[in-house]
Amino acid sequence: MILLSFGHGYSARALARLLPGDAEVIATTRSLDKAETLRAKGVTARIFPGDDLRDDLARATHILVSAGPGAGGDPVLAALREDIAAIAGQKTWIGYLSTTGVYGDHQGGWVSEETALAPSTDRGRARVAAETAWQDLAAETGAALHIFRLAGIYGPGRGPFAKVRRGTARRIIKQGQVFSRIHVEDIAQVLLASIQRPNPGAIYNVCDNLPAPPEDVIAYAARLLGRPVPPDLPIDQAEMSPMARSFYAESKRVANRRIREELGVTLRYPDYHTGLEALLAAETDD
């Protein structure tokens, strides 16, 4: 197995840790420093955009695209569409990491992979455009494309504990607000299950079993640490970045039946309780 990973970030690195020992990972990054770090870990690193990737595209058996869309659309297709189109039908598996933001706001209601896409943010609309571009390429070439719509990602180094300890965690309250989330290790096992059981054209929601208000997650983290639960802060009184405010512009519960029933995945962290408990336990072990 030779995996070419575009935008080898948090989720892609988690997948790489699950691959067989004889698998080769070719990873792209925009940073020379990150490339050196990857090489020190035994990963073949490329600078993208910049390096010539045509030989890597030819050698790869599997392709994972984690790089998010920019002003020019999907950066991988913008730079390499013709090259990818020439070889896409020869690949065993192509995975594109998208987001549940493509569904838009459902006022706390449930969405599934069959729900019509109605993004309400620029980020969501860019993701729909990128998904469509990859689907068009798959229709043209017969590529074994799989789309994964990820909920909010957390895991080692990406949890609420640091903010709770610093006293900067906020329980922002918006009536009826609910999010779905997913532990990075569960993203990795979903991707691996799909690699082992390809279903070209499939789309998967990747989230845990328990959508929950964000303030509940902060409260649980505080209780695990034995710290006071941060006070409520109404959203109209909260100073937030444009990106943070865009998350609160949408509320939905995301269904994950397909990853459980079609891919046979049993989530290691089926809810934020088990996920946060495991993160804290890992800190203690370290």
Domains of the chain and any CATH numbers: 2-285 (3.40.50.720)
- Give 87-128 pLDDT, tens digit per residue: 999 999 999 999 999 999 999 999 999 999 999 999 999 999
CA 24 vs CA 94, 95, 184, 215, 264: distances in Å? 16, 17, 21, 41, 25
CA 97 vs CA 56, 101, 274: distances in Å? 20, 12, 24
What average pLDDT does range 193-213 have in this prediction? Answer: 97
- Report percent pLDDT > 90 for the chain: 91
Residue 150 pLDDT > 70, yes or no? Answer: yes
The chain-wide mean pLDDT, for the chain, equals: 95
The neighbour count for residue 2, using CB atoms within 10 Å, is: 15
d(CA 213, CA 149): 20
- Give 248-276 pLDDT, tens digit per residue: 999 999 999 999 999 999 999 999 999 99
- Return the pLDDT at 244: 83
Q: What is the model's pTM?
A: 0.96
- Return the pLDDT at 242: 85
Residue 284 pLDDT > 80, yes or no? Answer: no
- Return the pLDDT at 185: 98
Asked whether 29 and 8 are in contact (CB, 8 A), the reply is yes
Confidence band, pLDDT 50/70/90 cuts, at residue 285: low
Residue 286 pLDDT > 60, yes or no? Answer: no
CA 268 vs CA 105, 154, 276: distances in Å? 28, 13, 12
Between 273 and 242, residue with greater pLDDT: 273
